[in-house]
Structure 1
């Protein structure tokens, strides 16, 4: 199984993690304001998708709404209409944005990297509804876009239902202390064994683990290596020894001249 190649612009324009967010400036992560700011600055954008009770894709990172809103509980228990009415903290008059609205804002102006959050709970095969919602939203979208997920089953499902979309795996060192997964699952995913099986075109790897031999092996094959999450110019310089591009937050990565 092969994937369409990742467009080269994803290796050229630094990618704003959860868009160009700054809560002090009224731009919380994954908000419309943060997305508009990234477009205006000319950065690529990374966003996250979560599923609602009625099968819609919303642009939101966490499974529980409590960190980013004044309403606790899983976003998956709400309908899309209800989620849209939940105000984001530090965003004037903004509820949780729907995927279709974000696509209208970006409108192909900058590259868009879409992370499909694991809905299985254990990186397993219980996938489908969010992938379908993502594929439906992207049908007919004009502009550089790619999808990715930590869950290889999610990436494989995107290959099945939207083979025209470039797709990749989000990867890391999978320390069991940091993940609600079995040690066996962590050990398996750590070696990125599903890259070819799911027809991935790239990886986005945790920046502190870029010296992993498997990452260097993929790089030697010509696989684009993105990384997350960079929080300073010094860390960016270190990551770029291996990575082709960075996903950044908390500072402004230098744009190519």
Structure 2
């Protein structure tokens, strides 16, 4: 299996988590305003994808609308057009964007790291439609872009659909409080057993768990290790001793000179 390498700009530029969001400045998570701010500042951008009712990738983190908008219910129950009319909270009235709209907005000016949210519910094999729609949207995109997911099956599907697209695994301690999946599945995922199988080029690991042996073994083997989510300069300094780049929010990470 061909493993496309992660472009170096993903290691050079700090990655703005869900774009450069700041609700006090009218920039909600994954909003156009937050994306424009990240581009202007020169940061790489991380975004999240959920599917719409009509199969369009929406740039939205949560499965439910209630935390990020004044609406209620699953985001996947809305068509893309309906989602576009749901204002993001603390914003300027803009609705939920599609991946295609974000690609047009970024237009290759900064690296774009795309997380495909798990649709199986248990990080299992029930995947496919969102990955296919994502691959179609990214076909022909000329800028630096990579995809990733907590679900190894999703990453394997992206390898099948878009073999030339850099891909990685989002990895974690997989604690029971955060992941309502069987204990044996969580224990297995902690050790990142699918890295080679899915043709991953990198991982993005939970910052508090960067010292895990498997993570550092991959890094010593030359695998780029990103991490999430860094929220202070001190946390960034600590993480950079064990990772190659950071995904940050709530402060401005230092850019390279």
State the TM-score, normalized to the length of structure 1.
Answer: 0.99
1:133 aligns with 2:130: no
Looking at structure 1, the residues matched to 3 and 215 of structure 2 have their Cα atoms a distance apart, in angstroms, of: 18
Equivalent in the alignment of 1:146: 146
Q: CA deviation at 1:30?
A: 0.1
Once the two structures are TM-superposed, the CA of residue 247 in structure 1 deviates from its matched residue by 0.1
In the TM superposition, residue 112 of structure 1 has moved relative to its aligned partner by 0.3
1:117 matched residue in structure 2: 117
Distance in 1 between the 2:230 and 2:177 partners? Answer: 21
- Superposition deviation, residue 2 in structure 1: 3.5
8 Å contact kept, 1:115–1:149: yes
Instruction: Show structure 2 runs of 5+ residues with no match.
Output: none
Corresponding residue number in structure 2 for 1:164 = 164
1:13 touches 1:255 (CA, 8 Å); kept in 2? yes
- 2: CA distance, partners of 1:78 / 1:30: 17
Give the TM-score normalised by structure 2. 0.99
Structure 1 residue runs of 4+, over 6 Å off?
none
Compute the displacement of 1:53 (Å).
1.1
d(CA) in 1 for partners of 2:86, 2:162: 31
Which string of whole-angstrom CA distances, capped at 9 and with x for unpartnered residues, describes residues 99-133 of structure 1? 10000010000000000000000001110110011
1:89-238 matched pairs, under 5 angstroms: 89-238=89-238
Instruction: Indicate if the aligned counterparts of 1:168 and 1:203 stay in contact, CA closer than 8 A.
Output: yes
CA RMSD of aligned residues (A): 0.6
Deviates more, 1:83-92 or 1:219-228: 83-92
After superposition, the Cα gap between the structure-2 partners of 1:2 and 1:173, relative to the gap in structure 1 and judged at 3 Å, is farther
Question: Which residue does 2:9 correspond to in 1?
Answer: 9
Unpaired runs of at least 5, structure 1: none
Secondary structure at the counterpart of residue 120 of structure 1: coil
The Cα of 1:245 is off from its aligned counterpart by 0.2
Q: Give the secondary-structure state (helix, strand or coil) at the position aligned to 1:65.
A: coil
1:43 aligns with 2:43: yes
Larger deviation, residues 24-33 vs 180-189: 180-189
Partner Cα separation in structure 1 for residue 82 and residue 182 of structure 2: 34
Does the 8 A contact of 1:35 with 1:106 survive in 2?
Answer: yes
